[in-house]
């Protein structure tokens, strides 16, 4: 994780609530997860899709870093759909 300060978009909070994913889980994915896709051209800041596991289930976190604010913005959080991802949840099918 680039910054300790996290900003959660409303969309991310809604998805976390719907899926029973805590802030602690998100921090764990950001700190220990794997970047599986990078979006260097995203605006206003480059973003990345990360894969981690929470309680044995896969979780994807889309986040971007704002160096001016020294903060990471969490855009969305979800459990990847096995019909749209390979068995490792690292590659789209």
- At 15-27, the pLDDT tens digits run 999 999 999 999 9
> For residue 87, is it within any domain?
no
Confidence of residue 3 (pLDDT cuts 50, 70, 90): confident
Containing 74, the helix (H) or strand (E) segment is: strand 71-78
In this structure, what are the phi and psi dihedrals at residue 82, rounded to the nearest 5 degrees? -60, -20
35 in any annotated domain = yes
2 in any annotated domain: no
Structural domain of residue 61, as residue ranges? 12-78
With 0.85 as the threshold, say if the pTM is over it: yes
Q: Is residue 90 part of a domain?
A: no
| Sheet of strand 57-66, all strands in order from the earlier edge strand to the far edge | 5-8, 71-78, 57-66, 47-54, 34-39
First-to-last C-alpha distance (Å) of the chain: 27
Q: How many domains does the chain divide into?
A: 1
Q: Is residue 30, in this structure, part of any structural domain at all?
A: yes
Q: What is the CA radius of gyration of the chain?
A: 13
């Amino acid at each position: 994780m680039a910054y300790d300060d996290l900003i959660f978009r409303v969309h991310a909070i809604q998805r976390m609530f719907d899926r029973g994913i805590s802030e602690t889980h998100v921090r764990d994915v950001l700190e220990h997860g794997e970047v599986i896709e990078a979006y260097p051209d995203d605006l206003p800041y480059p973003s990345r899709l990360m894969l981690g596991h929470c309680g044995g289930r896969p979780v994807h976190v889309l986040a971007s870093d704002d160096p001016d604010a020294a903060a990471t913005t969490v855009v969305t959080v979800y459990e990847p759909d096995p019909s749209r991802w390979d068995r490792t949840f690292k590659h789209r099918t």
